[in-house]
Copies of this chain bind each other. A is one copy, B any other.
Amino acid sequence: MFSKEMVRRGSQRSVIRELFEYGNQRAKIVGRENVFDFSLGNPSIPSPDWVGQELQTMLQTQTPIQLHSYTSAPGAEEVRRAVAEDLNRRFGTDYTADNLYLTAGAAAALSACFKALTTAPTDEFVAIAPYFPEYECFVCDGAGAQFRVTPPETETFQIDFDGLEACLNTNTKAVIVNSPNNPSGAVYTPQTAERLAELLRRKSEEYGHPIFLISDEPYRELVYDAPAPFLPNYYKDTLVCYSWSKSLSLPGERIGYVLVPPSLTDSAQAYAAICGAGRCLGYVNAPSLFQKVIAQAGGKPVEIEAYRKNRDLLCEGLKKAGYTFTVPGGAFYLFPAVPGGDGEEFCRRAMKQDLLVVPGEGFGCPGHIRISYCVAEDTIRRALPIFERLMQEYQSQP
């Protein structure tokens, strides 16, 4: 009577959401402060003050009609223009309002891209492990296409290029990358970006059609050491999916975009397909009040110092406790290997102590766990002894 697939997707929610709900339930029992929830990417740095001030000013100076009416489906033109100008300033590009389609967050942006690019059920989208597990859901059940995964390169969490090349074939529609990466925190180096572009150019030529690059970059500004290469400047057939969820700490408000650069093959047609896909998926316009907020974001600094502090504290504590990991250059995730080599087992043991972390299995990278360190510093301090204890447990009863 109902789609079995949708019932499954709705019942076995994403592991991350599941843990989040579990944490909420536990918090009611043992108290919020005694649940060490490192499961969800809910930013702990509050939105910058200017966001709240801007909202208040708008509510005082603009009419409800100006604030809350429908906008054009791709977003208000002046907002798209402001976003284009900010990108141009930062990346030396020449984008206009017509290259931007505002969306209800990055999930909507990605969904629109997959849907727009899918021409046959045999079309393939390739993610690089570790990857955000919802991709699979959007590709297979949203767009009705095939999802493939390139095995992880667990030394540095850059790209296993042999593995990626082996995944490509004439059915490949696009490769999905996510740098800074959720869950590894890795930021691609310029060398990785260059090599990726070179590979995609070579294979596009070989297959006689472009392989698109879908760059999912909600963490673009959350970098601690070096900036993330802006991929459209490396590879012309790049679609960028962005969200202000993390940079402005507005995840609940659902505001982001698809960038369809003019360099893209048949750019205007691609843009039309994105608009059509958004429409068919039930999107009307990105939330209007927050369109106006993000129009003001250009040029303002993104606050990351609290995350940097958390990263350093967590890295130091986990290293001392005997965990091995790559120090993350961006985002707010740490992705250590676990003792025993079974991420799910580790998470189960951790849950018993009200420590919530996400197994790497769901990200296509077994034997690891994702620790979201977008939490209060105190939570890390109080959780470190639990991480230590778990390591000791494994050492005494592997």
| Residue ranges of A at the interface with B (Cβ–Cβ < 8 Å) | 1-11, 13-14, 17, 20-21, 24, 40, 42-44, 46-47, 51-52, 55-56, 59-60, 63-65, 67-73, 104-105, 107-112, 115-119, 134, 137-138, 141-142, 144, 209-210, 249-254, 265-266, 269-285, 287-291
The answer for the CA separation of A55 and B17 in the assembled complex, in Å, is 28
**Which of B115, B210, B252 is in CB contact (< 8 Å) with A68?**
B252
CB pair B71–A252 under 8 Å, yes or no, is yes
CB pair A280–B6 under 8 Å, yes or no, is yes
CB pair B5–A276 under 8 Å, yes or no, is yes
19 CB contacts below 8 A, A to B, read A3-B118, A6-B280, A8-B276, A9-B276, A11-B275, A13-B73, A17-B72, A20-B72, A24-B72, A44-B65, A46-B63, A55-B59, A59-B59, A64-B249, A68-B253, A69-B251, A108-B282, A138-B282, A252-B287
CB pair B52–A64 under 8 Å, yes or no, is yes
A279-B137 in contact given A2-B116, A46-B65, A252-B71 (Cβ < 8 Å): yes
Chain A interface SS verdict (over half): helix
Residues of chain B contacted by A249 (CB below 8 angstroms): 64-65, 68
Residues of chain B contacted by A209 (CB below 8 angstroms): 1
CB pair A3–B276 under 8 Å, yes or no, is yes
5 nearest A-B residue pairs (beta carbon)? A252-B288, A111-B282, A10-B276, A9-B276, A10-B275
A6-B116 in contact given A104-B104, A280-B138 (Cβ < 8 Å): yes
Shortest Cβ distance from residue A238 to the other chain B in the assembled complex, whole angstroms? 15
Residues of chain B contacted by A46 (CB below 8 angstroms): 63-65
Residues of chain B contacted by A14 (CB below 8 angstroms): 279
The answer for the CA separation of A185 and B291 in the assembled complex, in Å, is 31
The answer for the CA separation of A98 and B26 in the assembled complex, in Å, is 19
Copies held by the complex? 2
**Which of B60, B109, B119, B265 is in CB contact (< 8 Å) with A3?**
B119
The answer for the CA separation of A290 and B115 in the assembled complex, in Å, is 28
CB pair A42–B63 under 8 Å, yes or no, is no
Shortest Cβ distance from residue A281 to the other chain B in the assembled complex, whole angstroms? 5
**Which of B13, B270, B280 is in CB contact (< 8 Å) with A2?**
B270
Nearest chain B residue, comparing its CB with the CB of A291: B252
CB pair B277–A3 under 8 Å, yes or no, is yes
Shortest Cβ distance from residue A331 to the other chain B in the assembled complex, whole angstroms? 16
**Which of B55, B253, B273 is in CB contact (< 8 Å) with A6?**
B273
Shortest Cβ distance from residue A323 to the other chain B in the assembled complex, whole angstroms? 27
Report which residue of A2, A11, A63, A210 has the largest number of chain B beta carbons within 10 angstroms of its beta carbon: A2
**Which of B42, B63, B282 is in CB contact (< 8 Å) with A69?**
B42
CB pair A2–B68 under 8 Å, yes or no, is no
Shortest Cβ distance from residue A61 to the other chain B in the assembled complex, whole angstroms? 11
**Which of B24, B105, B137, B287 is in CB contact (< 8 Å) with A290?**
B287
A273-B64 in contact given A142-B280, A252-B287, A252-B289 (Cβ < 8 Å): no
CB pair A119–B279 under 8 Å, yes or no, is no
CB pair A1–B266 under 8 Å, yes or no, is yes
Report which residue of A6, A60, A137, A288 has the largest number of chain B beta carbons within 10 angstroms of its beta carbon: A6
CB pair A11–B285 under 8 Å, yes or no, is no
Residues of chain B contacted by A115 (CB below 8 angstroms): 3, 6
**Which of B72, B273, B283 is in CB contact (< 8 Å) with A108?**
B283
Shortest Cβ distance from residue A140 to the other chain B in the assembled complex, whole angstroms? 8
Residues of chain B contacted by A64 (CB below 8 angstroms): 46-47, 51-52, 249
The answer for the CA separation of A79 and B196 in the assembled complex, in Å, is 46
Residues of chain B contacted by A71 (CB below 8 angstroms): 252
The answer for the CA separation of A137 and B275 in the assembled complex, in Å, is 13
CB pair B10–A273 under 8 Å, yes or no, is yes
Residues of chain B contacted by A52 (CB below 8 angstroms): 59, 64
